[in-house]
């Protein structure tokens, strides 16, 4: 390490009280920012779980649909029209709706029912137990083994229940890539069984899943679907649409953004104030260094190093602490939705850089302005 | 005859403008030679610290020149001036300005580190200077664990560590008792002063006047008299 930076390092870490206060400030701020944004990321990820789990490349939907659970059924001709568009390899309907099931013990439980196209079973889940073809068996349903399965009394293959006065039998247990947002168990069945067992509107297809022949066909498919008065979105676009709904139309996003901003302000206040006090206490010493022959840029590098070192260490500790808490929470609460993403880490990192930048800017201004003559003059 | 270390000509410095202008130093000229222990003395507010700051490259005069080894230091750019102070001038501040969070030896090594020497090599050289001031046993302690006299000696070791030609002491005995002050000055004269070094001390402590080769007396920003060692 460069000698002058080593001096800066020793000045910083040997002042244990201030160094600890600085670290606590930044760690706490990073912890809060990562926790808030991670919870939000988790919520957003779960809000699109159906889109991710089904895995279709394109979704055709009513333009008014803004999240996957509030679908608007489409008439059958839309599916036929989509199938006839150039560049569509195939297009199948998907049913998505809510229902109440009555368990063996008499308890009613809300569930999400996904009805897969009978012919292709496109969007079928990966099974842990049972065989996918058993979905065609009489009253066959596949239960998703996620955090919510306990609400169905931990069913096994053969477990029976009632759904809208129809009998239902569990024929398979599926793995869920991402659990749902609302804490409701998910059942898969065929499209036809779904619309015959559950009370349906005149139109039955919640979505039409499209497999384009190639990526280059996607713009054309979108254009043609638009002409029908519907919207065709890629899976990423649909996820983004759902994400935008939660971010901008539910108040969730603004609340999380405010909490993140408050965390930033708390971190900035603690760290900025402590770092400024640290600089003030050492101001005469910096003046003495200047008198001895230290150049302005060397003093600036000392301060930037001190602020940067504290910021990066605090960032690491904050991220570590947040990860530990999220991991522990997930072990105890399977429903816990927090998810640390690169974007969360990036946001917290940028915020920490801003905290370090502002803190050091205040310090640098004081140090640059100190005249060695002031040291002589006392 | 000893060669000239500093030549100050018509130095003037004022603070403020208009009616608020205060003349701190009024057209002062003097010279100091290598091998000389020169005192600048005078009452508080006489301009001695301002004069010291101008000849050491810290405070720019409003008029006049300062030649150090025949170079006008106030014609230098700021980085060049910083290098000049680092290489040519050693400072012993009134309050020592030692870093309490560094060890004694690290404090002494600061000028060497500023001169881009390797950290371990700087500490090694600093230890030798601590030995010169008799504090090699205190190397690992922080300065706050040392007495006032010991801290003063650490400050001296730091000032001489970069082997400067000119040493500047600002009120070196202000925080010391009479005996310790005299011992410090005896030490400076016997061990720090040599034929290639000029030492300038600003003080108003008459108890240490006996160690000076020459004393310049200041009052109201002017030199009012000069005495030579008898």
Cα angle for residues A128, A180, A261 (degrees, 5° grid) = 135
Q: Are B103 and B140 in contact (CB under 8 A)?
A: yes
Q: Which residue has the higher pLDDT, A265 or B74?
A: B74
- The C-alpha of A19 sits at a distance from chain B's nearest C-alpha, in angstroms, of 12
Closest CA to A176 of A248, A227, A117, A123: A123
Report yes or no: B15 at the A interface, CB cutoff 8 Å. no
Does the distance separating the beta carbons of A289 and B110 come in below 8 Å? Answer: yes
Average pLDDT of the residues in A271-294: 86
- The C-alpha of A299 sits at a distance from chain B's nearest C-alpha, in angstroms, of 11
* pLDDT-based confidence at residue A1 (cuts at 50, 70, 90): low
- The C-alpha of B21 sits at a distance from chain A's nearest C-alpha, in angstroms, of 18
Phi-psi domain of A212 (left: phi exceeds 0; alpha: psi -120 through 50; beta: other): beta
Chain A residue with the nearest C-alpha to that of B111: A292
Phi-psi domain of A39 (left: phi exceeds 0; alpha: psi -120 through 50; beta: other): alpha
Of A44-48, A126-130, A136-140, B59-63, least confident by mean pLDDT is A44-48
What is the helix (H) or strand (E) element at residue A277, kind and residue range? Answer: helix A252-292
Separation of alpha carbons B221 and B61, rounded Å: 13
Block residue for tokens 């091998």: B35
Phi-psi domain of B47 (left: phi exceeds 0; alpha: psi -120 through 50; beta: other): left
- Average pLDDT value over all residues in chain A: 88
pLDDT of residue A277: 85
pLDDT of residue B107: 95
Does the distance separating the beta carbons of A285 and B85 come in below 8 Å? Answer: no
With 90 as the cut, is the pLDDT of residue A33 above it?
no
Average pLDDT of the residues in A324-332: 89
Six-digit token string for B45 = 């507010």
Block residue for tokens 């390899």: A89
Closest CA to B154 of B170, B142, B166, B167: B142
Cα angle for residues B205, B208, B210 (degrees, 5° grid) = 135
pLDDT of residue A258: 86
pLDDT of residue B2: 67
Phi-psi domain of A176 (left: phi exceeds 0; alpha: psi -120 through 50; beta: other): beta
Does the distance separating the beta carbons of B111 and A3 come in below 8 Å? Answer: no
Does the distance separating the beta carbons of A288 and B113 come in below 8 Å? Answer: no
CATH code assigned at B87: 3.40.50.300
DSSP code string of B79-99? HHHHHHHHHHEEEE-TT----
Neighbour order of strands in the sheet with B214-219: B89-92, B166-170, B198-203, B37-41, B214-219, B222-228
B99 closest CB neighbour out of A4, A11, A373: A11
Separation of alpha carbons B63 and A335, rounded Å: 78
Report yes or no: B120 at the A interface, CB cutoff 8 Å. no
Give the list of residues 6+ apart from residue B40 with CB closer than 8 angstroms, or none.
B48, B51, B52, B200, B201, B202, B203, B215, B216, B218
Does the distance separating the beta carbons of A4 and B101 come in below 8 Å? Answer: no
Phi-psi domain of A220 (left: phi exceeds 0; alpha: psi -120 through 50; beta: other): alpha
Six-digit token string for A17 = 């009280």
* pLDDT-based confidence at residue A378 (cuts at 50, 70, 90): low
pLDDT of residue A18: 87
Does the distance separating the beta carbons of B97 and A3 come in below 8 Å? Answer: no
With 80 as the cut, is the pLDDT of residue A181 above it?
no
Q: Which residue has the higher pLDDT, A251 or B5?
A: B5
Measured from the Cβ of residue B149, the count of other Cβ atoms closer than 10 Å reads 18
Q: 3-class DSSP state for residue B194? A: coil
Kindly list the residues from chain B whose CB atom is less than 8 angstroms away from the CB atom of residue A376.
Answer: 49, 52-53, 58, 93-94, 170
Kindly list the residues from chain B whose CB atom is less than 8 angstroms away from the CB atom of residue A11.
Answer: 99, 101-102
Chain A residue with the nearest C-alpha to that of B57: A291
Low-confidence residues of chain B, pLDDT below 70? 1-2, 230
Six-digit token string for B208 = 């240490």
Q: Are B94 and B170 in contact (CB under 8 A)?
A: yes
Kindly list the residues from chain B whose CB atom is less than 8 angstroms away from the CB atom of residue A291.
Answer: 56, 58, 85, 91, 93
Asked whether the CA dihedral A269, A272, A275, A280 is positive or negative, the reply is negative
- The C-alpha of B173 sits at a distance from chain A's nearest C-alpha, in angstroms, of 14
Report yes or no: B150 at the A interface, CB cutoff 8 Å. no
Kindly list the residues from chain A whose CB atom is less than 8 angstroms away from the CB atom of residue B111.
Answer: 292-293
Measured from the Cβ of residue A137, the count of other Cβ atoms closer than 10 Å reads 13
How many domains does the structure of chain B reveal? 1
Report yes or no: B141 at the A interface, CB cutoff 8 Å. no
pLDDT of residue B69: 83
Block residue for tokens 């760690």: A27
Kindly list the residues from chain B whose CB atom is less than 8 angstroms away from the CB atom of residue A299.
Answer: none
The ipTM value here is: 0.86
Give the domain extent around B177.
4-228
Strands B63-68 and B71-72: antiparallel
Q: Are A234 and A57 in contact (CB under 8 A)?
A: yes
Does the distance separating the beta carbons of B106 and A376 come in below 8 Å? Answer: no
């Amino acid at each position: 390490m460069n000698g002058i930076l080593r001096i800066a390092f020793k000045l910083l870490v040997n002042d244990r009280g201030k160094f600890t206060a600085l670290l606590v400030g930044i760690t706490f701020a990073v912890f809060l920012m990562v926790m808030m944004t991670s919870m939000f990321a988790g919520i957003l990820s779960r809000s699109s779980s159906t889109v991710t789990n089904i895995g279709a490349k394109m979704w055709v939907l009513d333009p008014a649909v803004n999240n996957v659970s509030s679908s608007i059924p489409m008439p059958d001709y839309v599916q036929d029209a989509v199938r006839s568009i150039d560049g569509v390899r195939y297009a199948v309907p998907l049913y998505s709706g809510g229902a109440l099931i009555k368990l063996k013990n008499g308890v009613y439980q809300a569930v999400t029912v996904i009805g897969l196209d009978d012919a292709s079973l496109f969007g079928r889940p990966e099974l842990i137990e049972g065989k996918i073809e058993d979905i065609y068996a009489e009253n066959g349903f596949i239960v998703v083994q996620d955090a919510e399965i306990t609400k169905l009394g931990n069913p096994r293959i053969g477990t029976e229940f009632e759904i809208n006065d129809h009998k239902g039998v569990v024929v398979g247990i599926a793995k869920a890539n991402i659990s749902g947002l609302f804490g409701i168990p998910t059942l898969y069945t065929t499209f036809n069984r779904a619309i015959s067992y559950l009370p349906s509107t005149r139109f039955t297809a919640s979505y039409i899943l499209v497999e384009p022949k190639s990526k280059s066909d996607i713009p054309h498919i979108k254009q043609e679907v638009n002409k029908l008065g519907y919207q065709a979105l890629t899976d990423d676009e649909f996820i983004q649409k759902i994400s935008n709904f939660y971010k901008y139309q539910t108040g969730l996003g603004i609340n999380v953004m405010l909490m993140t901003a408050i965390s930033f302000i708390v971190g900035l206040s603690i760290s900025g104030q402590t770092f400024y006090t640290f600089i003030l206490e050492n101001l005469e010493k910096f003046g003495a260094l200047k008198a001895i022959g230290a150049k302005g840029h060397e003093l600036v590098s000392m301060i930037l190093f001190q602020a940067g070192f504290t910021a990066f260490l605090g960032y690491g500790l904050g991220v570590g602490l947040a990860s530990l808490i999220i991991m522990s929470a997930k072990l105890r609460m399977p429903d816990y939705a927090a998810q640390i993403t690169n974007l969360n880490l990036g946001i917290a990192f940028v915020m920490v850089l801003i905290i370090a930048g502002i803190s050091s800017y205040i310090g640098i201004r004081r140090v640059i302005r100190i005249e060695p003559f002031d040291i002589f003059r006392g | 005859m000893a060669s000239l270390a500093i030549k100050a000509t018509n130095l003037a410095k004022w603070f403020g403008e208009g009616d608020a202008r205060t003349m701190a130093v009024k057209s002062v000229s003097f010279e100091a030679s290598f091998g000389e222990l020169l005192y600048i003395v005078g009452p508080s507010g006489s301009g001695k610290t301002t004069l010291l700051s101008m000849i050491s490259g810290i405070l720019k005069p409003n008029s006049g020149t300062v030649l150090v080894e025949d170079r006008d230091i106030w014609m230098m750019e700021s980085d060049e001036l910083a290098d000049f102070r680092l290489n040519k001038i050693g400072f012993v501040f009134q309050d020592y300005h030692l870093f309490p969070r560094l060890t004694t030896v690290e404090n002494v090594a600061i000028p060497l580190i500023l001169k881009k020497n390797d950290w371990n090599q700087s500490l090694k050289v600093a230890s030798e200077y601590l030995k010169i001031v008799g504090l090699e046993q205190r190397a690992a302690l922080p300065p706050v664990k040392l007495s006032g006299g010991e801290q003063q000696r650490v400050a001296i070791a730091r000032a001489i560590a970069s082997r400067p030609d000119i040493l500047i002491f600002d009120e070196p005995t202000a925080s010391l008792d009479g005996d310790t002050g005299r011992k410090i000055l005896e030490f400076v004269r016997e061990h720090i002063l040599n034929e290639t070094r000029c030492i300038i001390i600003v003080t108003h402590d008459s108890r240490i006047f006996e160690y000076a080769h020459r004393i310049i007396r200041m009052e109201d920003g002017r030199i009012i008299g000069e005495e030579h060692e008898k």
